[in-house]
Amino acid sequence: MIETKPTISFEFFPAKTEAGLEKLKKDAAILSGLNPTYMTVTYGAGGSTQDKTFEIVEQMQELTGKPIASHLTYINKPKKEIYALADEIWDRGIHHLVALRGDMPEDLNWPLDPDEDYFQYTSHFVAALKARQDFEISVGAYPEKHPDAPSLDADIEALMKKCDAGADRAITQFFFDNKHYYEFLEACAKVGINKPIVPGILPIHDFEKMMG
């Protein structure tokens, strides 16, 4: 019998203050000692703190020597702006992205109206990023269905398209019953999705925020 150890990754939220940034870097250095496969840094709501995220990723990579991924969203951003960001990120030495649609602004509704100047689907976004630079790309997956998806089957089809476009793995939204995750893996396997689907795990330190 072959014994294997689970691989792990960590996601960080951008620090809002200089003191918070110093603590974040200290914590990242400690957690890097657990030999994570990678670590990621997310945005604030609506894509805020984007520039701060890129700076933090750079600093954390230099500090830990570990691959750090930056979140990158496409909603409400013209393709020309996305391409410029992708080139900037690559030149900063950030070669792993978590590619997501992002939160819908109040003045937009899903599905989006066709507009050739903007990405409409995450699969198109992933394909464009891969064509631009040879990024390692993680995408989102939703064991209990994305709120905007008409059905779980449609959501799984969207994930398949993201994988076919070049995504290297999927990271799930939080789920509260392991059954949903395992059923989701089975459903994905049935349609031929063979990329890793990593469970998103949230350490619970505030039940009210977790449920909100």
Query: Active-site residue numbers?
Result: 11
* Contact yes or no for 137/99 (Cβ under 8 A): yes
The closest of 172, 168, 181, 167 to 202, measured between CA atoms, is 172
Q: What is the distance between the alpha carbons of residues 19 and 30, in angstroms, rounded to a whole number?
A: 17
Q: What is the DSSP letter of 163?
A: H
Beginning with the edge strand found earlier in the chain, give each strand of the sheet holding 68-73 in spatial order. Answer: 9-12, 38-41, 68-73, 96-100, 136-141, 169-172, 197-198
Residue 38: name the closest of 2, 71, 4 by CA: 71
